[in-house]
Amino acid sequence: MTTGTVYLVGAGPGAPGLLTLRGAEVLASADVVVHDRLTGPDLLSLAKEGAELFDVGKDPDDRGDQDAINKLLVTNAQKGLQVVRLKGGDPFVFGRGGEEALALLAAGVPFEVVPGVTSAIAAPAYAGVPVTHRGLVTSFTVVAGHSRSVDADAGDGGTNWEALAAAGGTIVVLMGAAHRAKIADRLMRGGLPPTTPVLAVERGTWPEQSQVRTTLAGMAEAEMAAPVTIVIGEVAALGLVPARDLPLSGRTVVLTRAVHQAASLSGRLRQLGARVLEVPVIEIVPPADGGDALAAAAGRLGQGAYDWVVLTSANAVGKLFDLVPDTRALRSTSVAAVGPATAESLLRYRVVADLVPAQATAEGLLAELPQPGPAGGPPRALLPQAAGAREELQRGMERLGWAVDAVEAYRTVPRPVSAALLRGAASADAICFASPSAVDSYLDQAEAAGAKPRGLAVCIGPVTAAAARRRGLRAGGQASEHTADGLVSTVLALLGPG
C-alpha cells in the first residue's frame, strides 16, 4: 500500500480568509484532519465530505500527549490516507510542527509544510499596529509567554526576559495572558520603562476581535484572556487603521445552502462584519432517471412544444438550460420565473423572463400567469422542478386549464455534516434556511449530535418558515424579498445595532 502524505498546515490567525490557497486546497482533499483547540468550525467546514476529524487541542500550559499526536499522523498516513495537521498560525511558530516533522521523517512518511500567517504579526496588523516602523523600531522578537518560558531559567528552556528588555525592539508575546504580571515585572527589571506602551489583541482577526491598550506598569491589571497577542514597545501606541464599526461585528451566522450557492451570501455577510459558518446540509444530485426525462423535454422545447416554461428555482434554470445549447430554440415560448433570484439565473443564459410575479411564491405565479382563453386547446407549460416539489403550482395551473408537463430536473438530498461542525454552529446568533429540505436535514443531524441550534431561524420564504416552526426552531424572521439580498437584510434587521 502506498503511504499517504501528511500536510503540516498553518491555519492562520483565525479568520478563514487568511488561510492560504494551498492550505485550503489540501484541506479540501484530506481524508483525515487533525486540528488544534482554536481551529474554528468555519475552517473545518472547508474539509471534504466524509473527512475524519480529530480534535487534539490542548489548553494553555498543557503539554498534552505529543507522542500520541505524532502516532496519529503516522498511523493514518501508513494506511494510505491523506492527512492534514491543521495548526493555528504557522506550523513552525510555537506549533510543535518541528517535532511532528521529525516524527514523520523517522517513520519514513512523506510530508509537506504549508506555511501560515502567524498571529504574532496578523493580530497587531488588524489592530493597526506594525511590529516594525521606520523611525521607531527596526526589529521584533516573538516569544512564548507560557509557564515554562516564564518560570524556568534560561539555561533550562526558559526565556531571559531581562535580556529581551535590554535588546530593544518590539516584543510580541503569544500565550502570555495568564503570566502577564510576571512578564511585565521581569521586563521592567531588565530596564524597560514602566510607561512602555502595551497592546493586547484578543481573538485577533476574528469578527469579535477586541483590544486593550495599557502600559507595562498597568499590564498586570489589564483585562485580557486567551487567545491574546501582546505587543510591547513604542509601536503599541500606534493605530494605523480606522476603527471599523461594522453592524454585524461579533455576530455569528450559519448558512445551510448547498456549497455552490453559499459563496455570494457568505461574502455579503462577512462584509458586514459577521463570522459566517458554512454548514451545507443539502446537495443537488441528478434526477432518479439520470436526467432522461429532462433531456427529452429540452428536445421538445426546441420543437416548439410548449407555450411557456415555468421556473421555480435557480437550480431548475441551470439544469434545463445546460441542455439547451442555443436559446433561440425558445422561439415564441415565454418564460416565467418565480422571483428575482430565478430571473437573475436566467440572465446567465441570456434569457430575460417574460414574467416575474410581485410575490415570489407559487401562489404569486398562479395569480399572474395568463388565464387560458376559451378558444383553442389548453396552453402547454414545461415545469422543470425538484423531485418531491410542492404540487400547489402544478395543480393550480391544471385547475386553470393549463396542460402541465412537470419534469424532475434534480433531487435535493441530505449532505452529511460532521458533529464537530454542528456543535460549533449550535451557539450561532442566527441560522439561515432557503428550503424546507435544509431545515429537516440540519435538524435531523444536529439533534443526533446533541447540537440543536439556539439562534434565530431566518428563512427565505413562508414555506421554509413553516418548516422551521414545525421543527421547534426559534422564529427569527422571514425575508420580505425571497432572495439572498432579502436574507441579508433580514439578518441585519435582527442582529444589527438598534
Rounded to the nearest 5 percent, the helix, strand and coil shares of the chain are: 35, 20, 40
Can you tell me the distance from the alpha carbon of 429 to that of 368, in angstroms, rounded to the nearest whole number? 38
d(CA 98, CA 111): 12
DSSP class of residue 401 equals: T
Q: How many CB atoms lie within 10 A of CB 418?
A: 21
Q: Which of 31, 42, 90, 175 is catalytic?
A: 175
Strands (DSSP E) along 401-485, which ranges?
403-414, 430-433, 456-459, 474-478
Grid coordinates belonging to 372 = 387560458
| Residues paired with residue 143 on neighbouring β-strands, in sequence order | 173
Amino acid at 154: A
Residue 240 has a CB neighbour count (10 Å cut-off) of: 11
Of the residues 36, 42, 90, 405, only one is catalytic, namely 36
Q: Which residues contact 67 (CB under 8 A, 6 or more apart)?
A: none
Q: Could you confirm whether 322 is annotated as catalytic?
A: no
Choosing from 58, 185, 307, 354, the catalytic residue is: 58
End-to-end CA distance of the chain: 60
Largest interatomic CA distance in the chain? 99
Query: Residue 229 contacts by C-beta under 8 Å, 6 or more apart in sequence?
Result: 119, 120, 123, 124, 172, 173, 174, 200, 201, 204
**In contact, 115 and 131? CB cutoff 8 Å:** no
Whole-number Å distance between alpha carbons of 221 and 215: 10
CA distance 115 to 10: 5
- Give CA–CA dist 242/38, Å, rounded: 27
Dihedral of the CA atoms 78, 84, 86, 91 (nearest 10)?
A: 70
Q: Count the residues in the chain.
A: 498
Whether 67 sits among the annotated catalytic residues: the reply is: no
Rounded alpha-carbon distances, angstroms, from residue 197 to 130, 187, 201, 228, 239: 13, 13, 13, 16, 12
Residues 490 and 458 sit within 8 Å (Cβ to Cβ) = yes
Alpha-helical runs (H) found in 384-452: 392-400, 419-425, 436-448
Q: Comparing C-alpha atoms, which of 177, 6, 249, 204 is closest to residue 88?
A: 204
Active-site residues, by number, are 36, 58, 175
